Amino acid sequence: MSDAVSRLKVGIVGGTGYTGVELLRLLSQHPHVELAAITSRKEDGMPVADMFPNLRGRVNLAFQTPDTAGLDQCDVVFFATPHGVAMSQAEHLLSKGVRIIDLAADFRLHDTQVFEQWYKMPHSCPGVLAEAVYGLPEINRARIAGARVIGNPGCYPTTVLLGLAPLLGAGKHYIDTAGIIADCKSGVSGAGRKAEVGTLFSEASDNFKAYGVSGHRHHPEISEHLQNLAGTPVGLTFVPHLVPMIRGMFSTLYLRIQPEARTTDFQALFEQHYANETFVDVMPAGSLPETRSVRASNQLRIALHRPGNGDQLIVLVTQDNLVKGASGQAVQNMNIMFGLPETAGLQHIAVLP
């Protein structure tokens, strides 16, 4: 069938976590993709549908070891692996003409010292890092189109950066960039599928807490890219919290409006900025977005509030951490890299209730 010929051959390295199963869900329904291989040393030979029963009858792949998977014959390989894996295989795959989308942090931070400080490992391929593009399409679309390697953004950074992007840039003095506050909340799937006491049902259910207050790996990632947007260093306070829900992320951004910007129509500013973005929904002024409105979809929704028309701008941002915050965004990047319609395979409507 001629269609098969034109499909992208896609490989996934490490598909046993939640970003892995979400890639499988999205890619197996993608009209231009052929799932060629998925690897896991530990689960070699196990059908993926045995691990993820939602895939029964829909995905017939089994996990393979990296050696036998033929990844170097793929058009693109996604890394849904722990930090450090993608950078160890990147040069080889690139040399074979395979493009790379890493869902971990190997290619997100361009300062290797910062990477090493936060991820506690040396960066093993700074050369590839130098050419890697940060895969936030609404900010970097043109560079993504030409990239061989994508560092797919973290979930928190996606919400904070897209919530702030319209306010930052050369000559823009809307907000006090020295005092940005991001109070962020994530569903538990953000912690991954590792067996750990802290994310057991009996620990995380019917509970709420902050974590990583003294320092979280997404802080330097957000800061680096905010600085890129603003053109100057920014001051960011970032506090993540854990919400007893599976999927969903919600960021409440507190921004002090500069005196000279008090008359700005921020609603119009955001609407215009994102007018052509399918996956960013600037809701009507005063809206109250809910995480369930994006559950299992690639949509990110933004709403603006300015209580009492004062000097505080509050930006509410929500997404599904596993879709726009991870695997959906990765597929969006793939679509851009290969000249496919950007929405291909990503048009699922959010599941509510």
User: Which residues, 257 to 296, sit near its own copies by CB under 8 A?
Assistant: 281, 283, 286, 288-296
185 near its own copies, rule: CB under 8 A: yes
Catalytic, 155? Answer yes
Q: Is the peptide bond before 353 cis (omega within 30 degrees of 0)?
A: yes
Among 112, 199, 227, 267, binds its own copies (CB under 8 A): 199
201 near its own copies, rule: CB under 8 A: yes
Residue 48 identity (one-letter amino acid): V
Provide, rounded to whole angstroms, the least separation between the CB of residue 199 and its own copies: 5
197 near its own copies, rule: CB under 8 A: yes
Tokens (6 digits) for 99: 């493009």
Q: Which is nearer to its own copies, 130 or 352 (CB)?
A: 352
Q: Which is nearer to its own copies, 150 or 303 (CB)?
A: 303
Q: Which is nearer to its own copies, 149 or 242 (CB)?
A: 242
352 near its own copies, rule: CB under 8 A: yes
Among 10, 13, 25, 102, binds its own copies (CB under 8 A): 25
Name the strands in the sheet holding 33-39, side by side, starting at the edge strand that comes first in the sequence.
63-64, 33-39, 8-13, 76-79, 99-102, 149-151, 133-134
Q: Are 273 and 219 in contact (CB under 8 A)?
A: no
Helix or strand or coil: residue 240?
strand
What gap in Å lies between CA 169 and CA 226, rounded to an integer?
9
248 near its own copies, rule: CB under 8 A: yes
Longest dimension (CA), the chain: 63
Provide, rounded to whole angstroms, the least separation between the CB of residue 275 and its own copies: 13
196 near its own copies, rule: CB under 8 A: yes
8-13/76-79 β-pairing = parallel
Part in contact with its own copies (CB under 8 A); list of ranges 20-28, 61-69, 91-99, 131-139: 20-28
Q: Are 17 and 85 in contact (CB under 8 A)?
A: no
Q: Are 19 and 52 in contact (CB under 8 A)?
A: no
Size of the site for its own copies (CB under 8 A): 83
Residue 91 identity (one-letter amino acid): E
Considering only residues 310-349, where is the footprint of its own copies by CB under 8 A?
312, 314, 316, 318, 322, 347-349
What gap in Å lies between CA 194 and CA 214, rounded to an integer?
23
Among 13, 55, 76, 93, binds its own copies (CB under 8 A): 55
What gap in Å lies between CA 85 and CA 104, rounded to an integer?
9
60 near its own copies, rule: CB under 8 A: no
211 near its own copies, rule: CB under 8 A: yes
Among 65, 117, 205, 343, binds its own copies (CB under 8 A): 205
Q: Are 284 and 331 in contact (CB under 8 A)?
A: no
237 near its own copies, rule: CB under 8 A: yes
Provide, rounded to whole angstroms, the least separation between the CB of residue 221 and its own copies: 16
Catalytic residues: 155
